[in-house]
């Protein structure tokens, strides 16, 4: 155990996020996923001789939006640079990225971790274009699909400040939430619209000097990020404890075998020969653009999460679930504004709404039950007009037909059955139908009360007022209560 | 129809011919195609001639109105590194043999929109790297004035085609002098505009921060008309200048009156052919007589400029030419492994000069050498630009030779790349500083070969070089010789 503590990991992340622009970064081809191979291409993204890049303003605006949301310094003039390397998925054999003059510098992502508020400082954010996709076929044949080639990416680089694998995973989840919240990336790790490379090094605690770092690529899930980092830390620790030295290397995460495979050793390190892209003038970002993006920023997820707790007295868990997506938080607050009691509303959103979204798929923005109707439903329940059980049924009907809750209640006759006479008759019928249970209840088996309540609810189609029903059952089965 | 057909007419001459109703576009284009057929077997200016397509287009134009189309019915030859839609564009390289781009370069589509007819593609040094057009995978081009001599390069095919009277107008490209030096060697006029004046979209890149497309014609007027047609902002080239090209008019004899003209003091140490010195002296004399204020000026070190040019050009070329890898287009030499396919394709596809520059460029960008070479060259370039910016605060035009001497003999410098590089000593300053420059024919050497003079102005001031060059052109009254290997001749009157 003491040896375990002899080294502490230092982790930095490089996250690539595909921007949800209509067109690619340097040409007008649609930036769309899932089309037939090589149908979304042109001379520019195919790197044909003579074709030149022209920067997509929408991508710049999105990157600026992210930069302002993270409190970065936005450079008034940043410089695209060429990163030279040969690979068939990169048609020009250089990537257009940013090197020593990135679009955004500094900034930090803030979020609430279980142990308290956390602030992860960023190094930089820059724009670059994505590569195509290689499809390796049997019989030594490889095909290239250039549809993805030229899709805009932001690369978000943290400072080496993350302390352990779960810390890294939590940062990523919060970054993903922000990217989706801002509407600039769909954050799909499996499909690769968000990709994460990790830098890991070890050092002795208290030391300010960083150890030699290694890189892990291809981590395509939060679990993979954690597992990959854990493996790399263990490997480095073993090397150091054996008196060895860490060498620069790059490994790939193999998701199927859940292991790291060395891709490039120190000797094979690439020299990218960066230099400023002569086909593009410095990217000028005017103060007006920065101001526009800043002023249009929505309330950010962390602030919203904290406000939901403070303003509505929601538990941290509820606020976290509701703020997983901007659309969910919006939906919830619309329902509250339409009159739903906050905690009740939160319960309905978290259970019924999110469950049926998960089941049926689709976006909350297009959810069949409007927040106003949900609020009406919540009020019907909390006002005692219908039972919670009936409420669930009404919700299912609303989902199916799009009716407002009052109409469903009327059509299905789900109004709360609180008429003592009718309820009494129902209770008597249930007791008569279950003489054995009745006898045992009278013999002292009080737990059977819930059984009788359940039977009455069933008999009434869920409309019975459960409190009244319980009272009546108790009274009827009480010693001396007797049946008529 | 005159003896030599219509192919020998100037751009203005063709316009006047049409206006008079003396001929139709199909007559002029046909005449040019005939001239190419008759002369190009000797000169070798063309790598592709689009006979049928050009005639078909000309016949369409026969029935159309010329109004609003400044190059209506003008046959144009296009250097083979400028993309022509579905027509071969091979940049003088084996690696692109048979390549047909799916689109027209902006300059080409603007020529077409102006009514010009593209008659063919002209020979060049491979990927525009060279000063003699000998580094072409296809064949060397000969200088129409003396077929044992090089036409200069890399736009040697375009200059030779105009000089030999095969076409009135051609497009070239200039990275370190590739329009101006062959224009000088072939006794024709060529303009390289301010960097960004003409869209580079569709110009196969050699060194992006230096490349410019420009016209080559028999006279300044022809160049000015063509430049006007192809210049201007282009949404798909972010480095194209946004501000409009100034009006390009000759302005007559009075143009030189009151102009401030600088003559470099630093060229005294350079070995110039006597005909070049004489032409320069004559130009200075004429300008002074016409009312210009001529003064000696100091230029940034020319040796340093050429070194800076070669480092930056090679660096950018090494990256620009990375895309020729056998994967998507052009030549492929297959292999079992990817790395070997790259190596074999590029080894077989590129010529020696291109390989030399790719290696040089890769080296100057390599980690450990980057700052020392590329980084330093960029700093030097900034200083050179500043110097010229200051210089053009006090003068309007800089006048200097285009090349130290007339055309050299074919093969003479092939084994001496450094000597070949040094023939760019007067052309690289305008390239490195991004300034507009024109080369006009200014006399003949003792061997009867043309020599040129160059005028350079401040960035954006193409109007000044056109005015100055028109006035000097008139003073020199240079006559072009059109029959390769034949008699005729021209010179200063």
Catalytic residue among B10, B26, B154, B445: B154
Q: Is the model's pLDDT at B492 over the cut of 50?
A: no
Instruction: Give the pLDDT score at B485.
Output: 46
Instruction: Give the pLDDT score at B280.
Output: 96
Instruction: Give the pLDDT score at A481.
Output: 55
B200 to A144: CB separation less than 8 angstroms, yes or no: no
Residue B484 — pLDDT band, cuts 50, 70, 90?
low
Average pLDDT over residues B421-428: 89
Residue to test with chain A: of B327, B342, B431, most A Cβ within 10 A = B327
Is residue B79 annotated as part of the catalytic site, yes or no? yes
* Nearest residue, CB atoms, B203 vs list A43, A50, A54: A50
Q: Write out chain B residues lying below 8 Å of A50, CB-based.
A: 81-83, 89, 101, 105, 200-205
Is residue B173 annotated as part of the catalytic site, yes or no? no
Average pLDDT over residues B61-79: 96
Q: Is the model's pLDDT at B418 over the cut of 90?
A: no
Residue B177 — pLDDT band, cuts 50, 70, 90?
very high
Instruction: Give the pLDDT score at B299.
Output: 95
Q: Is B246 buried (19+), middle (13-18) or exposed (0-12) by CB count in 10 A?
A: middle
* Domain chopping of chain A, boundaries: 4-292, 298-412, 420-477
Instruction: Give the pLDDT score at A142.
Output: 86
Instruction: Give the pLDDT score at A483.
Output: 47
Q: Write out chain A residues lying below 8 Å of B203, CB-based.
A: 50
- Beta bridge partners, A44, equal none
Surface of A (112-171) touching B: CB under 8 A: 140, 144
> What domains, with CATH codes, occur in chain B?
11-251+436-476 (3.90.1300.10)
Average pLDDT over residues B16-37: 96
pLDDT in tens, chain A (484 residues): 444 558 999 999 999 999 999 999 999 999 998 899 999 999 999 999 999 999 999 999 999 999 999 999 999 999 999 999 999 999 999 999 999 999 999 999 999 998 899 999 999 999 999 999 998 887 768 899 999 999 999 999 999 999 999 999 999 999 999 999 999 999 999 889 999 999 999 999 888 888 999 999 989 899 999 999 999 999 999 999 999 999 999 999 998 898 999 998 887 788 999 999 999 999 999 999 999 999 999 999 999 999 999 999 999 999 999 999 999 999 999 999 999 999 999 999 999 999 999 998 889 999 999 999 999 999 999 888 888 888 999 999 999 998 999 888 888 877 877 788 888 888 888 999 999 988 898 888 888 888 998 888 888 877 888 888 888 888 888 866 554 4
Residue B410 — pLDDT band, cuts 50, 70, 90?
very high
Residue B4 — pLDDT band, cuts 50, 70, 90?
low
Tell me the per-residue pLDDT of B228-273, one tens digit each, with 9 for 90 and over. 999 999 999 999 999 988 988 877 778 899 999 999 997 877 889 9
B208 to A92: CB separation less than 8 angstroms, yes or no: no
Q: Is the model's pLDDT at B493 over the cut of 50?
A: no
CATH of A420-477, one of 3.40.50.970, 1.10.10.410, 3.50.50.60, 3.40.50.2020: 1.10.10.410
d(CA B204, CA B212) in angstroms, rounded, equals 11
The structure tokens listed for A248 are 């620069």
B209 to A278: CB separation less than 8 angstroms, yes or no: yes
* Chain B positions with Cβ closer than 8 Å to A: 81-83, 89, 91, 96, 99, 101-103, 105, 200-205, 207-209, 235-239, 315-316, 318-319, 322-323, 325, 327-329, 336, 338, 342, 362, 365-367, 370, 374
> H or E stretch including A288?
helix A287-295
d(CA B367, CA A274) in angstroms, rounded, equals 9
For chain B, the three-class secondary structure string (H helix, E strand, C coil) is CCCCCCCCCCHHHHHHHHHHCCCCHHHHHHHHHHHHHHHHHHHCCEEEECHHHHHHHHHHHHCCCCCCCCCCCCEEEEECCECECCECCCCCCHHHCCCCCCCCCHHHHHHHHCCCEEEEEECCCHHHCCCCCCCCCCCCCCECCECCECCCCCCHHHHHHHHCCCCCEEEEEECCCCCHHHHHHHCCEEEECCCCCECCCCECCCCCCCCEEEEEECCHHHHHHHHHHHECCCCCCCCCCCCCCCCCCCCCHHHHCCCEEEEECHHHHCCCCHHHHHHHHHHHHHHHHCCCEEEEECCCCHHHHHHHHHHHHHHHHHHHHHHCCCCCCCCCCCCCCHHHHHHHHHHHHCCHHHHHHHHHHHHHHCCCCCHHHHHHHHHHHHHHHHHHHHHHHHCCEEEEECCCCCCCECCCCCCCHHHHHHCCCCCHHHHHHCCCEEEEEEEECCCCCEEEEEEECCCCCHHHHHHHHHHHHHHHCCCCCCCCCCCCCCCCC
Nearest residue of chain A to residue B374 (CA atoms)? A275
Q: Write out chain A residues lying below 8 Å of B342, CB-based.
A: 86
Catalytic residue among B7, B26, B79, B439: B79
* Nearest residue, CB atoms, A43 vs list B82, B103, B207: B103
Q: Is the model's pLDDT at B301 over the cut of 80?
A: yes
Instruction: Give the pLDDT score at A480.
Output: 62
Distance to chain A for B112, nearest Cα, Å: 18
Is residue B154 annotated as part of the catalytic site, yes or no? yes
Average pLDDT over residues B480-487: 52
């Amino acid at each position: 155990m003491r040896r375990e503590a002899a080294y502490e990991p230092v982790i930095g992340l490089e996250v690539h996020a595909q921007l949800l622009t209509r067109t690619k970064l340097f040409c007008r081809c649609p930036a769309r996923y899932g089309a037939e191979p090589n149908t979304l291409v042109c001379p520019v993204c195919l790197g044909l001789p003579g074709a030149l890049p022209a920067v997509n303003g929408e991508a710049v605006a999105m990157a600026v939006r992210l930069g302002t949301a993270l409190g970065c310094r936005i450079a008034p003039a940043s410089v695209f640079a060429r990163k030279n390397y040969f690979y068939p998925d990169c048609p020009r054999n250089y990537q257009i990225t940013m090197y020593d003059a990135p679009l955004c510098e500094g900034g930090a992502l803030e979020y609430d971790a279980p142990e308290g508020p956390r602030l992860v400082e960023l190094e930089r954010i820059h724009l670059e274009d994505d590569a195509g996709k290689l499809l390796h076929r049997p019989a030594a044949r490889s095909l290239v699909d250039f549809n993805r080639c030229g899709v805009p990416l932001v690369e978000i680089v943290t400072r080496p400040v993350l302390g352990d694998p779960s810390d890294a995973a939590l940062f990523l989840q919060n970054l993903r939430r922000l990217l989706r919240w801002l509407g600039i990336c769909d954050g799909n790790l499996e499909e690769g619209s968000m990709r994460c490379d990790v830098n890991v090094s070890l050092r002795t605690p208290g030391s300010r000097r960083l150890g030699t770092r290694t890189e892990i690529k291809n981590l395509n899930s939060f679990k993979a990020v954690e597992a990959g980092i854990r493996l790399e830390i263990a490997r480095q620790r073993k090397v150091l404890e054996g008196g060895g030295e860490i060498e620069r290397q790059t490994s790939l995460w193999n998701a199927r075998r859940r292991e790291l495979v060395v891709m490039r050793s120190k000797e094979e390190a690439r020299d990218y020969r960066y230099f400023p892209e002569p086909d593009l003038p410095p990217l000028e970002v005017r103060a007006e653009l920065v101001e526009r993006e800043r002023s249009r920023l929505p309330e950010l997820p962390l602030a919203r999460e904290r406000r939901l707790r403070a303003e509505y007295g929601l538990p941290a868990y509820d606020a976290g679930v509701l703020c997983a997506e901007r659309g969910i938080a919006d939906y919830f607050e619309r329902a509250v504004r339409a009159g739903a009691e906050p905690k009740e509303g939160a319960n309905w959103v978290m259970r019924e709404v999110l469950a049926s979204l998960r089941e049926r798929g689709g976006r909350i923005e297009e959810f069949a039950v409007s927040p106003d109707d949900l609020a009406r439903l919540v009020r019907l329940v909390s006002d005692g007009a219908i039972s919670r059980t009936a409420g669930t049924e009404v919700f299912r009907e609303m989902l199916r037909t799009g009716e407002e809750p009052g109409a469903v209640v009327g059509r299905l006759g789900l109004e709360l059955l609180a008429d003592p006479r009718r309820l009494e008759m129902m209770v008597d019928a249930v007791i008569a139908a279950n003489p054995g249970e009745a006898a045992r209840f009278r013999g002292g088996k009080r737990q059977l009360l819930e059984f009788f309540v359940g039977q009455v609810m069933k008999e009434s189609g869920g409309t019975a007022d459960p409190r009244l029903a319980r009272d009546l059952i108790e009274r009827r089965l009480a010693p001396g209560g007797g049946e008529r | 129809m005159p003896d030599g057909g219509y192919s020998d007419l100037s751009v203005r001459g063709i316009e006047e011919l049409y206006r008079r109703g003396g001929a139709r576009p199909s007559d002029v284009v046909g005449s040019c195609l005939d001239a190419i057929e008759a002369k190009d077997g000797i000169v070798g200016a063309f790598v592709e001639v689009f006979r049928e397509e050009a005639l078909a287009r000309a016949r369409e134009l026969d029935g159309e109105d010329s109004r609003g189309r400044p190059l209506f019915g003008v046959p144009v030859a296009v250097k083979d590194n400028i993309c022509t839609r579905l027509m071969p564009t091979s940049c003088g390289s084996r690696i692109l043999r048979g390549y047909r781009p799916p689109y027209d370069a902006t300059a080409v589509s603007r020529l077409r929109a102006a009514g010009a007819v593209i008659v063919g593609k002209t020979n060049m040094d491979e990927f525009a790297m060279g000063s003699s057009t000998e580094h072409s995978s296809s064949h060397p081009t000969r200088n129409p004035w003396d077929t044992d001599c090089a036409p200069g390069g890399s736009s040697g095919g375009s200059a030779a085609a105009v000089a030999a009277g095969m076409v009135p107008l051609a497009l070239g490209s200039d990275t370190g002098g590739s329009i101006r030096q062959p224009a000088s060697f072939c006794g024709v006029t060529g303009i390289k505009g301010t960097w960004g004046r003409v869209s580079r979209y569709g110009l196969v890149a050699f060194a992006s921060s230096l490349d410019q497309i420009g016209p080559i014609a028999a006279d300044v007027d022809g160049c000015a008309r063509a430049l006007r047609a192809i210049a201007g902002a282009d949404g798909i080239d972010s480095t194209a200048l946004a501000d409009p090209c100034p009006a390009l008019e000759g302005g007559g004899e009075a143009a030189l009156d009151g102009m401030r003209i600088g003559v470099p003091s630093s060229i005294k140490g350079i070995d110039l052919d006597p005909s070049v010195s004489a032409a320069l002296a004559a130009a200075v004399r004429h300008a002074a007589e016409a009312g210009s204020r001529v003064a000696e000026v100091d230029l940034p070190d020319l040796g340093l400029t050429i070194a800076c040019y070669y480092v930056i050009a090679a660096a950018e070329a090494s990256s620009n030419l990375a895309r020729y890898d056998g994967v998507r287009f052009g030549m492929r030499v297959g292999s079992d492994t990817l790395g070997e396919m790259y190596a074999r394709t590029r080894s077989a596809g590129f010529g020696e000069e291109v390989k030399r520059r790719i290696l040089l460029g890769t080296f100057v960008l390599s980690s450990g050498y980057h700052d020392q070479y590329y980084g330093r060259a960029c700093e030097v370039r900034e200083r050179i630009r500043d110097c010229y910016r200051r210089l053009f605060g006090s003068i309007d035009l800089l006048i200097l030779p285009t090349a130290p001497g007339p055309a050299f003999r074919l093969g003479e410098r092939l084994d001496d790349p450094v000597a070949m590089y040094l023939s760019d000593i007067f052309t690289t300053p305008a390239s490195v500083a991004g300034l507009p420059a024109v080369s006009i024919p200014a006399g003949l050497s003792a061997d009867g070969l043309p020599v040129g003079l160059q005028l350079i102005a401040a960035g954006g001031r193409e109007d000044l070089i056109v005015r100055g060059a028109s006035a000097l052109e008139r003073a020199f009254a240079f006559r072009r010789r059109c029959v390769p290997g034949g008699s005729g001749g021209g010179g200063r009157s």
